[in-house]
């Protein structure tokens, strides 16, 4: 093992007592965020974010995520879907993880990170696709995975030619499809 040089000057570790923490003592980032979830400097006004402990029932999470995507807020849709993913049972966990990754991929697309967006959209499609035979909660799995793969290809080109509307997937089928 290579010896490390002695450190002179202030301790480079952040002051753990000064970190943002919730009531249970877990680290939280209380910095304001922009509409795409990027942290803003303290003291600036950001957009409201999704509470860290939000867990919605699956149908409600899908509707809320769809609403947020339609408003151009994929980061916030990801937070909603992530809460459902983390609360999901073993049988549905990978489905919800894929749904959350889909929203993260869209966040990267909106931020201009074409390579990251493309990778995450493909990863999301791979996680969601096994549920096509029995789609959970009325999600049009086959159409959604096709959309994710096509969008990944288009975003991956990096030419910025996709419209905002083209970056809005349909997470929930029409009410008559959900029966």
pLDDT digits (tens, 9 = 90+) for 113-150: 999 999 999 999 999 999 999 999 999 999 999 999 99
**Which of the following CATH numbers is that of domain 58-178: 2.102.10.10, 3.10.20.30, 1.10.3450.10, 3.30.200.20?**
1.10.3450.10
Domain spans of the chain? 58-178
Distance separating alpha carbons of residues 44 and 160, to the nearest angstrom: 29
Distance separating alpha carbons of residues 116 and 120, to the nearest angstrom: 6
Q: What is the pTM of this model?
A: 0.76
Confidence of residue 33 (pLDDT cuts 50, 70, 90): confident
Tens digit of pLDDT for each residue in 54-94?
788 999 999 999 999 999 999 999 999 999 999 999 999 99
What's the farthest any 2 CA atoms get from each other in the chain? 68
């Amino acid at each position: 093992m290579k010896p490390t040089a002695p450190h002179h000057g202030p301790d480079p570790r952040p002051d753990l007592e000064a970190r943002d923490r919730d009531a249970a003592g877990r680290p939280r980032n209380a910095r304001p965020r922009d509409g795409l979830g990027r942290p803003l400097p303290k003291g600036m006004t950001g957009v409201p974010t999704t509470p860290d402990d939000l867990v919605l029932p699956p149908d409600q999470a899908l509707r809320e995520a769809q609403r947020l995507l339609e408003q151009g807020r994929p980061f916030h849709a990801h937070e909603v879907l992530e809460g459902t993913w983390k609360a999901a049972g073993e049988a549905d966990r990978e489905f919800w993880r894929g749904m959350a990754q889909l929203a993260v991929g869209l966040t990267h697309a909106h931020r201009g990170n074409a390579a990251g967006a493309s990778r995450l959209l493909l990863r999301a499609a791979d996680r969601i696709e096994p549920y096509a035979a029995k789609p959970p909660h009325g999600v049009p799995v086959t159409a959604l995975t096709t959309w994710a793969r096509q969008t990944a290809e288009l975003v991956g080109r990096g030419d910025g030619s996709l419209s905002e509307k083209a970056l809005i997937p349909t997470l929930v089928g029409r009410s008559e499809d959900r029966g």
